[in-house]
Structure 1
Amino acid sequence: MIEHDVDAVFRALSDPTRRAMLERLDGGPASVSVLAEPFDTTLTAITQHVRVLEAAHLIDSTKRGRQRVCALERDTLGRAEKWLADRRLAWDHRLDRLEQHLHDTENDTPADHDATKDPER
């Protein structure tokens, strides 16, 4: 996933209204008016949220008669999830190395440190 794509996805996911819309779409496609029902906001505001979700490729919308129907783009969510999993794996690896280093230094004895000093002192 390209970094600007990741930015757009997380920017879109940063809003609780958009996250709730995605949760609704997880159950199947819905019209913009159906997506707007639970929110105390204008249809214009909901349409702006839809545009942000579309720009991030989290949803796709099609015109059906007079209604715009939105559907979840699961591939994008999968790529965002993979990006997170890759970051987690990298950090887990770094933390494992740090843990090993701390364990190794904790088990060093003072005699081990003396042996590394200049023998002429």
Structure 2
Amino acid sequence: MATDWEDRLAKWRDELQLFAQLEDTPWVSLAQAEAETGVSRSALRSWYRNGEIQSRLVDGPNGPQRLVPLEAVVERAARSPRIQRRAEREVSLEAQVTLLRHRVDQLELRLAALERRSPP
């Protein structure tokens, strides 16, 4: 039983690699596209249903699986104002965290200096 499952999974992976080789761009599952680009599955579904990106249905290890070209997802995400705003907020948040860490480091240095000056 486990061998049958492993054979099906290996065959499916081989088919995905063949798609990527034939088309110069990897076709990935919705889960992988979401993980690599940060685009939600619902947005991906909307995009392929509206014809904004291509998709194909292939036999997967658990039944039919939807694949999308990763490059097309990246290009479409770059044109999305909502996704761009979210990315900008994340960068802004990262910058704020970096600034706060720097300020905490400065405060720790000042506190250490004050502790050295004051007698016990």
Shorter-chain TM-score range = 0.3 to 0.5
| Structure with the higher helix share, 1 or 2 | 2
Bigger radius of gyration among the two: 1
Which structure is richer in relative contact order (CA contacts within 8 A, separation 6 or more)? 1
**Could you state the TM-score of these two structures normalised by the residue count of structure 2?**
0.40
